Structure 1
Amino acid sequence: MADTGTTDTGMTDTAKPQPQRDLQGKVALVIGGSRNQGAAFAENIAARGATTVITYANDDAAAQRTLLALEKHGVTAEAIRSDARRSDDVNALFEGVVARHGKLDIVVHTPGAVLKKPLADFTDADFDHLIDLNTRSAFNTLRATARHIADDGRYVVLSTTLTSIMTGPYGLYSGSKAAVERMVLAAAKELGARGITVNAVAPGPIDDDFYQHAETPESMAAAANHSPRGRLGRPSDVAPVVGWLLSAEAGWVSGQTVRANGAMF
């Protein structure tokens, strides 16, 4: 029999399923959405039809590249420079999104930092740096979300799988993220009566600029060898997990930390 170029689904090899536009009419804000996992989350959201606003700290070129990728999905998209560590920046950001787009339905928070060293070697400046980027920034956006998000909204924040295992030289990093997971649980209870869900997603090591900055090639290779898959995670592995938590189907999942680590831990 001749090869017809079809798969067992009946679809031609060149035909690709179109993403479901289940977020059509929604307005989404991805804090730190210009690069790495944040950009993958933003594109997942835009592909599903939502107006997508991303923020970034300082890389204008990366923000513009991601913005162009979002606009290819035929949605309204914005890139706004904002510092999630500053409450005044965050308040102005949320107020501006609601003023321009009429509402806010989805918030995804990705910023963070990691320092790898024994607790005895951490300085006061190290502590302030990690708490500001990992804990304070998430608090600022979670508080603003509680004040501005529409009923039946969705909030997802990135945590780390390290909050649930022996952390070694990542102790302060995992501690700063563990605080975020407790805030998630509290906010889920406070906002649940409005149909709003609040969750965290905790990846394992992801092969992106964030992880590469904290590690050496040798330690990254060791982490990949520790994985049952023989590789590090990718932003594309985590984006569908976050994307599902933003869906209507995930409305009964709230106050949870979802570990997305390929069984590495």
Structure 2
Amino acid sequence: MTSHPRTDRRVAIVTGGSRGIGREVAQRLAADGLAVVVGYAGNEKAAQDAVRTIEEAGGTVFPARADVADETEVAALFDLAETTYGGIDVVVHAAGRMPLSPVVDLDLADLDAVYRTNIRGTFVVDQQAARRLRPGGTIVNFSTSILGLAFPGYGAYAASKGAVEALTLILARELRGRDVTVNAVAPGPTATDLFLDGKDEETVARLAAQPPLERLGTPRDIASVVAFLAGPDGRWVNGQVLRANGGIV
């Protein structure tokens, strides 16, 4: 890992930053000039690959492992970001789990796991962000357009993201006077490994045909929305859920 001193740049933490949408967000924010912390749960190789890609493009970045549901580990991640870079301005919470099963068949251990990561994890990360972000800061959580689509098999995942939306809207109001925005991005079907896993070609083609734009979203599409919210042009957007789904709902 390259050593980076304190910086005058804005600083972003991206949880789930080693793969999928989170990785694309980390790359985009680094390209926009932010110093980035790539948060990851356990896949060190993927995190190092993400860091290498950002550094090769000229970005400032380092990886940090933390279980987002563990308040001690998350606090240590924030401590490391502040010690290394001098402060924190943007927190993008992209870490999440997505078990697929009809409600009637879901193993309750899977329910507990998705709630631990998606609900408790969001609460823990947002709590640290609310305590530490500098004025002009931004918190971006992740929901899902499946809340509106109501796809069968997504009951546990959608329920957890409903909690994320509620937390997002309330936290935005609780941070009155802090000059910190809090929003959620709710992607529609997006071509990530997490989304495509277990789906046959027919299912993927059917999902891709649903939006008026007639394609799946890409991680880059979603990263562009996050970059807008994290940048100067997004400062008047606060306490909102942006459904980035190509018009599917």
Please state which band the TM-score falls in when normalised by the shorter chain. over 0.9
Verify: 1:99 aligned to 2:83, yes or no: yes
Query: Given the alignment, which residue of 230, 243, 246 partners 1:259?
Result: 243
Query: Given the alignment, which residue of 98, 109, 127 partners 1:114?
Result: 98
Larger Rg: 1
Verify: 1:129 aligned to 2:113, yes or no: yes
Structure 1 residues 61-76: aligned runs within 5 Å = 61-76=45-60
The AA in structure 2 aligned to 1:240 is S
Report the counterpart of residue 162 of structure 2 in structure 1: 178
Verify: 1:212 aligned to 2:196, yes or no: yes
Cα distance change, pair 212–165 in 1 and its aligned pair in 2 (3 A)? closer
Report the counterpart of residue 85 of structure 1 in structure 2: 69
Report the counterpart of residue 177 of structure 2 in structure 1: 193
Verify: 1:158 aligned to 2:142, yes or no: yes
- Deviation at residue 111 of structure 1 after TM alignment: 1.1
SS in 2 for 1:260: coil
Report the counterpart of residue 131 of structure 2 in structure 1: 147
**What is the TM-score when the length of structure 1 is the normalising length?**
0.87
Report the counterpart of residue 221 of structure 1 in structure 2: 205
- Deviation at residue 158 of structure 1 after TM alignment: 1.3
SS in 1 for 2:189: coil
Check conservation: 1:32, 1:55, Cα contact below 8 A. yes
SS in 2 for 1:192: coil
Indicate the RMSD between aligned Cα atoms, in angstroms. Answer: 1.7
- Deviation at residue 37 of structure 1 after TM alignment: 0.7
Check conservation: 1:195, 1:251, Cα contact below 8 A. no
* Structure 1 range deviating more: 150-159 or 58-67: 58-67
**1-side partners of 2:87 and 2:244: how far apart?**
30
Report the counterpart of residue 8 of structure 1 in structure 2: none
Structure 1's unaligned 5+ residue stretches are: 1-23
Check conservation: 2:40, 2:65, Cα contact below 8 A. yes
The AA in structure 1 aligned to 2:159 is G
Report the counterpart of residue 247 of structure 1 in structure 2: 231
Report the counterpart of residue 5 of structure 2 in structure 1: none
**1-side partners of 2:65 and 2:150: how far apart?**
36
**2-side partners of 1:215 and 1:158: how far apart?**
22
Query: Given the alignment, which residue of 23, 26, 44 partners 2:10?
Result: 26
- Deviation at residue 226 of structure 1 after TM alignment: 2.1
SS in 1 for 2:242: strand
Report the counterpart of residue 44 of structure 1 in structure 2: 28
* Structure 1 range deviating more: 221-230 or 133-142: 221-230
**What is the TM-score when the length of structure 2 is the normalising length?**
0.92
- Deviation at residue 61 of structure 1 after TM alignment: 2.2
Report the counterpart of residue 42 of structure 2 in structure 1: 58
Verify: 1:167 aligned to 2:151, yes or no: yes
**1-side partners of 2:54 and 2:132: how far apart?**
24
- Deviation at residue 197 of structure 1 after TM alignment: 0.2
Cα deviation per residue 1:80-126 (whole Å; 9 max; x = unaligned)? Answer: 12211211111111112112211100100101111222212222212
- Deviation at residue 72 of structure 1 after TM alignment: 3.0
Check conservation: 2:65, 2:77, Cα contact below 8 A. no
Cα distance change, pair 134–217 in 1 and its aligned pair in 2 (3 A)? farther
Check conservation: 1:204, 1:260, Cα contact below 8 A. yes
Report the counterpart of residue 21 of structure 1 in structure 2: none
* Identity across matched positions, percent: 38
- Deviation at residue 165 of structure 1 after TM alignment: 3.2
**2-side partners of 1:193 and 1:214: how far apart?**
46
- Deviation at residue 228 of structure 1 after TM alignment: 2.5
Query: Given the alignment, which residue of 228, 233, 237 partners 2:221?
Result: 237
- Deviation at residue 53 of structure 1 after TM alignment: 0.7
- Deviation at residue 59 of structure 1 after TM alignment: 2.0
